[in-house]
Chains A and B, each alone.
Chain A
Amino acid sequence: MELKDFSIKEIHQGLVNREFSAKDLAEAYLEKIKKEDKKFQTFLTVSEDSAINQAKGIDKIISQGKEIPILAGVPLAVKDNILVENIRCTAGSKILENYIAPYDATVIKKIKAKGAVILGKTNMDEFAMGSSTENSGFYPTRNPCDLTRVAGGSSGGSAAAASANLCCYALGSDTGGSIRLPASFCGVVGLKPTYGAVSRYGLISMASSLDQIGPLTKSVGDCEIVFNAIKGRDEMDSTSLEIPKIGNWKLEIKKLCIGVPKEYFIKGMDAETERAVKGAIKKIEGLGAKIKEISLPHTKYSLAAYYLVMPSEASANLARYDAIRYGRIKNKKLKIKNLLDYYLIAREEGFGPEVRRRIMLGTYALSAGFYEAYYLRAQKVRTKILEDFKGAFEAVDIILTPTSPAPAFKIGEKISNPLTMYLSDIFTVSVNLAGLPALSLPCGKAQGLPVGLQIIGKVFEENKILEAGKVFEKLCPII
């Protein structure tokens, strides 16, 4: 069959009207992956057999004339830090190179129950630590819009796979921008849900107070469908919550009050990116929405607070990788006298440089004598950042910003200086610290590359940013 750039609804219609079978569709995507993924390097594992089996199951149900859920038979790709039972799960790390997931993450359980077809697991920065997918322990992912550039990170494989139409949609995770940044770099839509809106059970933890799973899709409509399928409270994640029902809210663009924080248009940002985002905001104003300049005064401290909170939590979470319960030491010739030697070697061998850097930074920030000066101070500044947003949302419904200060950079350009790489996340980390939902959608081009517009909402008001996103994407057609 001919594989078009299908939306979820188009696939659903095609299956229901029997224009194609789920098996044909899955095979078409698998064929495309086989042919084209050498160029992009978006997949770490392709789960061909199970995908075909899942698709056959859906075809059987359709042939019996039964109704199917909207996600049934729709092929997706899953970031390789989300467990899919009996499929390898590496989190982009050599230390988990041979790890076979013993159970399904809650999000996977949920979409499997709706008949999802999982094509495989996507490339990522090791343990989701990075902004370019160059920190993958295996290979970097290339941006389908320009193969010499990065796909963004850490969900770079998922964003690039959706962008190159190697899947209909993908799942990713976002700790400091890891869904939104690659979505903006690759020209797709990405949602970081409210902290707690989606269960983290079965997500390989990086920084537990910041991590959230979310969709990467080709349209806001698709994003909404996937989000609705994966959200909700889960007994297995005590930080997950049921989204409170928000009456009968309907978007009336003329009544919408949009905040644009001045701190998100900074010196040194790419001029074409600024022009694209401001142009999009002008168009939205043209529809009758009220645009208001606001201030989030602690924005300039977000990245510093983030780079203490995140490594601190990560250093604790990654203590479990000891190569005793899973993983193994490869170099058998080394002399290992005792358990301490074993740990040191296993973790030196298994972790890449960025992971070791962050674990050491976190360990330092939490160590005796430094805890108050670093970790506690960062947590207090985090409160200030939260209060900034709380104040702003008293006057506005949603907030618009650029997702990134510049479009996708060249592969290798930022890898040698960790701080330069960290600065790519400058517009996305505040949202994680404050636990807010945020959507990135394409809004134009800079240097011929996609630019992302970030829509930030109040806690649990995904519905508002998604409704607004659907209107805005019509103004800025996907390139």
Chain B
Amino acid sequence: MINRKEVQRVAKLARIGITQKEEEKFSRELSLILDYVEKLKEVDISKTPPTSHSVGIKNITREDSKSEKLKTELPFMKAKVEKKTKPSLTIKNEKLLKLAPETKNGYLKVKSIL
């Protein structure tokens, strides 16, 4: 069960605005789902480790160095395709800034925090 007050709390934590009418609706729906997942309590997990990742690889690292781009030509096409030896950030700042609703002097503009 999750009551309206808890719905309000969670919505604020999640930074989602909801109307009063929706509080009721979400309280009902989330309770339904939380009741359903109760069945997990039937499983004996006392000696079971958690799985966060199915394939089990961890801590993939790379050297922290400047990336280089190699330009190669596709065998079938004379088009130039970048073949990277290391990951690189090739996206231009301007391209990303253009997606933002408000910018100033090359920075993102936000409302005051307090």
The residues of A with any CB-CB pair to B shorter than 8 Å are 57, 61, 66-69, 72, 99-100, 102-103, 109, 113, 115, 194-196, 209, 235-236, 238-239, 241, 298, 300-301, 303-305, 307-308, 315, 319, 322-329, 336-345, 347-349, 351, 356-357, 359-361, 363-364, 367, 374, 376-384, 386, 417-419, 422, 433-436, 459
Least CB distance, A397 to chain B, in whole angstroms:
20
Q: Which residues of B contact A196 (CB under 8 A)?
A: 55, 57
Do A379 and B51 contact each other (CB < 8 Å), given the known contacts A307-B37, A361-B30?
Answer: yes
CB-based A-B contact count at 8 angstroms:
185
List B residues at the A interface (Cβ < 8 Å).
2, 6-7, 10-18, 26, 29-30, 32-34, 36-43, 45, 48-55, 57, 60, 62, 74, 76-77, 79, 81, 84, 86-87, 90-91, 95-96, 98-101, 108, 110-114
| A418–B32 touching, CB < 8 Å | yes
- Chain A residues within an 8 Å CB radius of B30: 357, 360-361, 364
List the B residue with the shortest CB-CB distance to A355: B16
Known: A305-B40, A325-B108, A328-B101. A379 touches B96 (CB 8 A): no
Cβ-closest chain B residue relative to A64: B78
Residues of chain A contacted by B113 (CB below 8 angstroms) = 338-339
Name the prevailing secondary structure of the A interface residues: helix
Which secondary structure characterizes the binding site on chain B?
Answer: loop
Interfacial chain B residues near A327, Cβ < 8 Å: 101
Q: A195 to B29, alpha carbons, bound, how many Å?
A: 31
What's the nearest-Cβ distance from chain A to residue B27, in Å? 10
Distance between Cα atoms of A181 and B42 in the complex (Å): 28
- Given A61-B76, A298-B43, A99–B99 Cβ distance below 8 Å? yes
Point out the residues of chain A lying under 8 angstroms from B84, CB to CB: 235
Task: State whether B76 touches A69 (Cβ < 8 A).
Answer: yes
Determine how close the nearest CB of chain A comes to the CB of B6; give it in whole angstroms: 8
Contact present for B57 and A347 (CB under 8 Å): no
- Assuming A307-B37, A360-B16, is B99 touching A326 (CB within 8 A)? yes
* B50/A72 in contact, CB under 8 A: no
Are the C-beta atoms of B37 and A378 separated by less than 8 Å?
Answer: yes
Whether B79 lies near A382 (C-beta < 8 A) is: no
Q: How far is the CA of A383 from the CA of B45 in the complex (A)?
A: 9
Q: Considering the complex, give the chain B residue whose CB is closest to the CB of A387.
A: B48
Chain B contacts of A378 at CB under 8 A? Answer: 37, 40
Q: In the complex the two chains form, is A364's CB within 8 Å of B10's CB? A: yes
Cα(A260)–Cα(B110), bound, Å:
56
